[in-house]
Chains A and B, each alone.
Chain A
Amino acid sequence: MSDLGISGPKGQPLPKPPVYKRFFDSVPVSIAIYTIVVGLIAYGSYAGAQGMGYNWQWYRVPQFLYRNTEIGFEWGEIPIGLVATIKLSVTAFLLATFLGLLVALLRLSGLVVGSAVAIGYLELIRNIPLLVLLYLFYYVLGPIFGFDRYTASILTLAVFHSALISEILRAGINAIPTGQWEAAKSIGMSPYQTYRYIILPQSVRFMLPPMTGEVVHLIKSSAIVSVIAVAELTTFGRNIISDTYMSFEIWFTIALVYLVVTLILSIGVSHLEKKYAVDQ
C-alpha cells in the first residue's frame, strides 16, 4: 500500500491518497460508521415495533433452543429444526452434485444427443420457479410415483440445484487446458482415468468458490419446503409462532441461525481454498 511510504523507482515517495480517503479507510472511523448504520437500522425496527405496540418477549425464546425439564436436558424446536434442515440440504446437495455431474458430462460428451438432452434439462429447470417445481413434485409426481413430502422436497431441491451445479462443474472442467487432455490421452489413459486423476483434481480449485455459494443458496432455498410442511427449521419457526404469536422474535432468531450456519460454511471453505492455492 502506498501509505506505508514505499518509495517509487527513483526513490521519490509515491503520493499519498487524499486526506478524506485516508480518514474513511482508517479502522476506528470504519468501525464507528458501521456501528452507527447498524444501530440506526436496529433502532428503527425497534421504534417501529414499539409504535405498533408490539409486546417483545425475548425471555420466552430460549425455551425453543433448549430446556431443562424434570427428565433432564433436551434440545428445543429450533436446534432440532436446524438438524433437519442440514440433513435435508446435505442429502439434496449430494444428489444435486451427482445429477449435475451427469448433466455436465453429457454436455461435454460431444454426442449430439447428449448435449441436446443436457441443454433441454437445463433450460427446463432454470425457467421454472422453485416453488412451482416443488408443487409439481409434491402434487403431481408424488402421487404418480408414490413418494412422500420429504422425498418430494429433496428431489425438488436436488433437481433445481443440479442445473446450476452442472454449469459450475462444466466451467471448472472447461478451465483445464486441452493440453492436459492430450497429455493424458498420449500416455494411454481412458476418459474415466483422465477425469479422475488429471482433470477433476485440477478443476476443484476453480469449482470450490462457486460450489460454496451454491451450498449456501441450497440451504437458504430449503426453507421453501415449509410450504408443504416438511419438518425443518422454517416450518418449526412457523409452528412456534402459531403457538406463541412471537413472530418478530422467532423470525429474527431463525434468520440468525441461517446466517450463522452459512457464514461458518463460507469461512471454512475459504480456508480450504487457501490450502489448495498453496498446494499448486
Chain B
Amino acid sequence: MNQPAPMIEVTNLDKFYGAFHALKNIDLTVHQGQKVVICGPSGSGKSTLIRCFNGLEWHNSGRLVIDGIEVYEGAKEIRDLRQEVGMVFQQFNLFPHLTVLENLTIGPMKVRKISKAQAEETARNYLDRVHIPEQADKYPAQLSGGQQQRVAIARSLCMETRIMLFDEPTSALDPEMINEVLDVMVELADTGMTMVVVTHEMGFARKVADTMVFMEAGQIVEISPPEQFFTNPSSERCRLFLNQILEH
C-alpha cells in the first residue's frame, strides 16, 4: 500500500468511567479505505473505543485525531466531524416517528441544509444500494430487523460520510437476517469506504478486513492482518477467544 492519509489516529488514549479503567493506552492508526475489524470478549472496550471516534464518548487522556480534526470534549468541530463519520448501532436507532425516506432525508436537510428534492433523490439512491427501494414510505416498525439495519446504514451514507463505524451491527438480528446486512456491508467495503467494525462475525471479517484488532480488558492485545490473525495469532488469549467463537 502506498500509505494514504491516516483517517483515524489514536495515540496513548485512556478512558475512565469513574474509577473503572475502560480503555488503556490505546494506539491505533486507520488509513483511508482501510477495513478494520475489532473483536474481543464483551466488556473489553470495543464499543467504547469506536464510540469515542464520533464523540459519543470522550476520552480522558491521549490524542485522537479523525480526518485531521482533533477530538476532545467541547471541540467546536465535533458536529462537522460527526457528519463525516457515520455510525451504525446494534439497536438500529431509527427514528420511529418518521418514514424510512424521512429518516434518510432529515439529516441532509436539517444539518447539511440540502433541498428536499435533492435529499430525497440521494435517499432513494442509497435505498437502492441497500436493496429496499420499495420500503421508502413505511415506518421503521413495519420493517424486519434486517431491513431496519439496512435503513440505518443508508441513513449514515446519506450524510456522505467518509468513515463508517459499525457497533455490533448484527448482534440484535435474527440469524436469517444477518447475511442480508453483512452483504450490504461487503458491498460498501468494495466501494472503498473506510470502515471500523466491531463484530463477532468472523466470516465477514475474513472476507472484508485488512486489519484485525483483538481487545481484552480495555487493551489492544493484538493487531495483525487476517491471514496471520486467524491461523497464527501471536497472543495466547486471542487464540483462546478464536477457539471459543469459531468452535460452532
Contacts of A182 in B (CB 8 A): 56, 87, 89, 93
Q: Does B82 contact A (CB under 8 A)?
A: yes
Q: Does A190 contact B (CB under 8 A)?
A: yes
Q: Does B155 contact A (CB under 8 A)?
A: yes
Per the bound structure, the CA–CA distance linking A177 and B91 in Å amounts to 11
Contacts of A30 in B (CB 8 A): none
Whole-angstrom distance between the Cβ of A2 and the nearest chain B Cβ: 30
Stretch from B24-32, B35-43, B104-112 contacting the other chain:
B104-112
Say whether B96 contacts A187, CB under 8 Å: no
Q: Does B170 contact A (CB under 8 A)?
A: no
Say whether A280 contacts B54, CB under 8 Å: no
In chain B, positions 68-119 with a C-beta closer than 8 Å to chain A are: 79-80, 82-83, 85-87, 89, 91, 93-97, 106-107, 110-112
Say whether A180 contacts B93, CB under 8 Å: yes
Say whether A186 contacts B110, CB under 8 Å: no
Say whether A188 contacts B83, CB under 8 Å: yes
Contacts of B54 in A (CB 8 A): 185-186
Say whether B95 contacts A180, CB under 8 Å: yes
Say whether B107 contacts A188, CB under 8 Å: yes
Q: Does A243 contact B (CB under 8 A)?
A: no
Q: Beta-carbon contacts of A162-180 to B below 8 Å, as 1s and 0s?
A: 0000000000000001011
State the main secondary structure of chain A at its contact with B.
helix
Q: Does A262 contact B (CB under 8 A)?
A: no
Per the bound structure, the CA–CA distance linking A187 and B80 in Å amounts to 9
Q: Does B153 contact A (CB under 8 A)?
A: no
> Which residue of A179, A183, A189, A279 contacts B111 across the interface (Cβ within 8 Å)?
A189
Say whether A187 contacts B155, CB under 8 Å: yes
Q: Does A226 contact B (CB under 8 A)?
A: no
Q: How many residues of A contact B (CB 8 A)?
A: 19
- Given the contacts A182-B56, A197-B106, A187 and B111 also touching, CB distance less than 8 Å: yes
Contacts of A188 in B (CB 8 A): 79-80, 82-83, 107, 111-112, 159
Q: Beta-carbon contacts of A96-117 to B below 8 Å, as 1s and 0s?
A: 0000000000000000000000
Residue of B nearest to A178 (CB): B93
Q: Does B156 contact A (CB under 8 A)?
A: yes
Say whether A185 contacts B56, CB under 8 Å: yes
Q: Beta-carbon contacts of B135-158 to A below 8 Å, as 1s and 0s?
A: 000010100000000001001100
Name, among A184, A186, A279, the residue most crowded by chain B CB atoms within 10 Å (CB to CB): A186
Whole-angstrom distance between the Cβ of A196 and the nearest chain B Cβ: 8
Given A187-B82, A188-B80, output 15 extra A-B contacts at Cβ < 8 Å.
Answer: A180-B93, A183-B152, A183-B155, A185-B55, A185-B82, A186-B54, A187-B86, A187-B106, A187-B107, A187-B155, A187-B159, A188-B82, A193-B110, A197-B106, A280-B139
What 3 pairs across the A-B complex have the smallest Cβ distances?
A187-B107, A183-B93, A179-B93
Give me the interface of B with A, judged by CB distance under 8 Å: 54-56, 79-80, 82-83, 85-87, 89, 91, 93-97, 106-107, 110-112, 139, 141, 152, 155-156, 159
Give me the interface of A with B, judged by CB distance under 8 Å: 177, 179-180, 182-190, 193, 197-198, 201-202, 279-280
**5 A-B pairs with C-beta separation under 8 A:** A183-B87, A183-B152, A186-B56, A188-B83, A280-B141
